[in-house]
Structure 1
Amino acid sequence: MVAPSLSEMNDSYLEFIEKIKKEIQKQRVSVVMNANTSMIILYWNIGRAILKKQQEEGWGTKVIDRMSKDLKTAFPEMSGFSPRNIKYMRKFAQCWEDEKIVQRVVAQIPWRTNISLMDKLKTQEE
């Protein structure tokens, strides 16, 4: 059976399908935004864990290199675990100590934009 062409459908169907398409578009954006927020919070948590370990044990840069290798091995399908990006995670946690601000505001900003802001701005107020 072949689906009828759109021109053969009544106005009620055309309105119906438009509503469905708009809902799909809206939810696609929502999924992307939620995924971004989850990733930002994950990166902040990793950065916070690194800071805590460094305070406790005085870790050096080699630990970040080792961590990068171990995470890439454990999660080969994921990107974002380069030594450079892990250093940004640590810096991110240093810049934003308050988890509530991270969850409400900062997590709405894409990761690359957060990196750019960290590189360009000197203070949190900026």
Structure 2
Amino acid sequence: MTMTTTLPAAAEPVGYTEFYDALCNRLREGRLRAAQAANIELLLVYWRTGKELVERDSVYGWGTKAVERISEDLHRDFMTKGWTVADIVHMRQFAEAWPDDDVIARGPVGLLPWEHVIVLLDRLDTRDGRDRYAAKAIKHGWSATTLAHAIEHEPRRRLTECLIDRRVLGGHGFDSSTA
């Protein structure tokens, strides 16, 4: 038979439960703030990289070869799985989509993981749409997959695509010149 040395609940110090609950909340909140700060810093690294690539492309004509070289060199020097050619192209798109880095530090996009940012870049064409879906993803705690699904299945978006699609317009007697 094993003996336990746990004190009975009655021996708990006065106010312990409240203290412990508050401590757990502080710990959770501190971890969340630390993760958010790290995420913002990482996104800023990606954004600055993209911005510099845009600038160097306009001055020196950097293109695909430079991006491929950067990816290869980083894989060699940092042995990282990230920083693929596609990742670096997304960094450039990121800087073009949000030209002001302050938006990353203070806007909804800065609270999203990189995978979510890629979904926004790949599936939406406007900054307003990207910001709107970034805010929705944060509010509802969406995964990147759920975010992509929400974008693709938004009723307003599907209706607009259908109305613009000449096949649908022509097939339903709509005059495509007025759409």
TM-score (ref. length: structure 2): 0.62
Match for residue 28 of structure 1 among 31, 47, 67: 31
Identity %: 29
d(CA) in 2 for partners of 1:115, 1:32:
19
Query: Which runs of 5 or more structure 1 residues have no equivalent in the other structure?
Result: none
1:1-126 aligned at under 5 Å gives the runs 4-5=6-7, 7=9, 8-76=11-79, 78-105=80-107, 106-126=109-129
Query: Which runs of 5 or more structure 2 residues have no equivalent in the other structure?
Result: 130-179
TM-score (ref. length: structure 1): 0.86
Q: Pairwise CA RMSD of aligned residues? A: 2.0
Residue range with higher mean Cα deviation, 99-108 or 115-124: 99-108
Higher Rg: 2
SS of the residue aligned with 1:32?
helix
CA shift at 1:75, angstroms?
A: 2.2
CA shift at 1:3, angstroms?
A: 7.2
Structure 1 residues 79, 19: CA separation in 2 closer, same or farther (over 3 Å shift)? Answer: farther
Q: Are the aligned partners of 2:51 and 2:92 in contact in 1 as well (CA < 8 Å)?
A: yes
CA shift at 1:4, angstroms?
A: 4.3
Higher relative contact order (CA 8 A, sep 6+): 1
d(CA) in 2 for partners of 1:6, 1:24:
26
d(CA) in 1 for partners of 2:102, 2:32:
23
Residue range with higher mean Cα deviation, 90-99 or 10-19: 10-19
Q: How many residues align?
A: 124
